[in-house]
Amino acid sequence: MKKAPTTLRSALIKLEKDQVKFYLKASEQFKTNPLICQKWFMLAAGLNPSGDSFRSLPKSLWNLLTEDAGSMLEAVATAGALLKDRLGPEPTLRQYLKRILEIEEPLVLSVYAPIVRTLRSNWTDRAMDFYVMARSHITTVTRLIEPFCGEPEMMQRSSLLVHRFEEEIQRTRIQERAKAERQARRARKKAHRKTGRASSATAMRRPKAQRKARPKQGRAISRRAAGVAKRKPLVRNIKLARRRARR
């Protein structure tokens, strides 16, 4: 895991160079159609041929991406394999458009989005530059695919790519809010349990005090009654003695 940041940075720089080559080749492939040729050229021009878009990022950024490094490297490997895979001797425009969507989806969601999230949390001033670059690249991809693919499924995947990118960027904030809400609920439950225990403890103490008081009163009354009962026979004996003395 210690080598992951360096490996990830190098892999992304190399991948960006391969992407530029692939899109320029596609531009040459369709040079008979100026409109489509220009779209491919714009897509290649949006990326940096020397990989400077990743080289210019702070070096400490890559150390903060250790949690996402595994999924990012997997996305880079998938995109790199698709860039090397040949489409055939005479590939059609549909095949190229399908391939570009297969390449860009994992990169946009698993590479660009985590980088933007991390930049927003640590380098706010640098986050906007990378976000604009990524968003512009995604928009160029969708503008190339949607008008020319002719397939509803591909058009839907392309149009959802921007929306999913924005969702992935906001994912950390949503998770933080959910975490804060869970912690607040737990704190309320703990406070409620403590309050319930305290009230139940006081409720249990009150009957005990009453039980102790009742036997004391009963004992006092019984002792007084016993004393009175003992004294009555003595009074009777005195009266009988006086009567006998008079006679």
User: What are the structural domain ranges in the chain?
Assistant: 4-173
CB 119, CB 128: distance < 8 Å? no
pLDDT band at 86 (very low <50, low <70, confident <90, very high): confident
Residue type, 20: V
Q: What is the pLDDT of residue 186?
A: 65
Instruction: Tell me the whole-structure pTM to 2 decimals.
Output: 0.66
Q: What is the pLDDT of residue 163?
A: 93
| C-alpha distance from residue 135 to each of 54, 130, 161, 164, 177 (Å) | 15, 8, 10, 12, 25
Q: How far is 177 from 175, CA to CA, in rounded Å?
A: 5
Query: Tens of pLDDT along 178-214?
Result: 454 555 566 677 666 767 665 555 555 655 545 455 5
| C-alpha distance from residue 44 to each of 24, 39, 122, 217 (Å) | 6, 9, 29, 99
* Mean pLDDT score, 98-119: 94
User: 185: burial class by Cβ within 10 Å (0-12, 13-18, 19+)?
Assistant: exposed
Of 80-89, 207-216, 234-243, which has the strongest mean pLDDT? Answer: 80-89
Q: What is the pLDDT of residue 1?
A: 42
CB 174, CB 129: distance < 8 Å? no
Of all residues in the chain, the percent with pLDDT exceeding 90 is 43
